[in-house]
Structure 1
């Protein structure tokens, strides 16, 4: 199975390169049309990409490399909470988005009625991380105590801090806790992942909830603040591949399933054509994009092979 996956991964990279070559050749390599604008192909033109705020850093990194390779492409990244992105999709205000879930059956019916078939690309596995102040004496988390807090029940956790009330982390954890909405006491929502980290950094006693990408790839000016918070280890039960214990959201623990709070990341493309959104999604899931994701601390969909040159010296 692993051999077949490696062959598929290699073929995907080849197909991507050939597709981009012929797309550029057939469209004048993104040359300007009579109106002075660049026509949209897999590697040229202009689109807006709406990305979930929890994975903002990694998408920024991949886009920076993509733009350096394809200078006729102009992808504007807009970072928003999950609920806002879904709302834009369902009002025809967005067509290419990054989310930690696919649309529900009810949401997808909007596009089915319009006979728009989405192109869905899974490209990585993310983790929801929990952070506390450096002075915190309790640095381990029992999921059951978390669920109690989210249901408004008595819990060892006194204060939970989310990045936004419409955040994907809110929806993800509410579903796990079996709760319909956030309780009125003990749970707070700010405006961004960065604000959550800063709040925890400045206030002992709070548990911050963020995307793990913000811990491994923070903005350069914010790196020192991130270094000064503590990432909690989360309790997990014994599985077929791991022992019972407490685990942090490392790449290895995400891969083995030892860390319990993980979720797939997707490019949801509702353009209805082979445009720049498809080109970026293909790049993200091909070898070049997967290498960038591997370095980011997230788990890529496919582990890029390492190439080692061996020399025979006489």
Structure 2
């Protein structure tokens, strides 16, 4: 048998059976897993954005960040890689997007015609697969969640049990030790209020109704700002937002930070043992953040350093 080169990429793994093409995930292993001690390494789990509906945004959204963490065979990987057992990037079923310019959804395609809470239930199923297959969660590997845009929304919904019958996350998968939430959507009604101009409002209504239906009280209940986060083992939440973001505004971070503070979280520099919020100013337009990948890689490195300092 030929020895595998590393980082080793395993693409398009189904995490449920039967699985649609979007109920899959990608894995990258920096080294054979047997060489990654559970006491000295964590998994990085990425959830992509795309307004719950964009077929062109997939698990491959993590690749630019990986290119910074593993520059090339001629250069050594980032030092933080020594503390990372594996990377997983998740796909999930999408809401309809029949006006997409190049890949419109087909009403008969079961992977692209779902609404909340299907997205978060798919993400939860992926975590359960990672637990049973790679030991991510209980008594083995701890993990760090990274989410961009609605991927950040999904990670918080899962943590709070929003869309999961009020039961936080999979019954078998421990919460993450840290979350890095980039340009996330935390208050759905606020998103629409802040984009109510004619010609703009219509796009946001289409996105939210496609993902959550027409009943506004559903939007309210599905918003992460309605969740409870004080009882979890999470030690660190990074809220990253760019002032240049043309799609999601800074008020989303302010709303989520306010909820966390009211539930006992402290800003960076709080007392030892406190659950810490870091509000991080990042740069660039909404998609630049993941397309460039450098800032995502930098935040992964910073969080891993903090966990193992």
Q: Output the TM-score relative to the length of structure 1.
A: 0.25
Q: Higher relative CO (CA 8 A, sep ≥ 6), structure 1 or 2?
A: 1
Whose helix proportion is higher, 1 or 2? 1
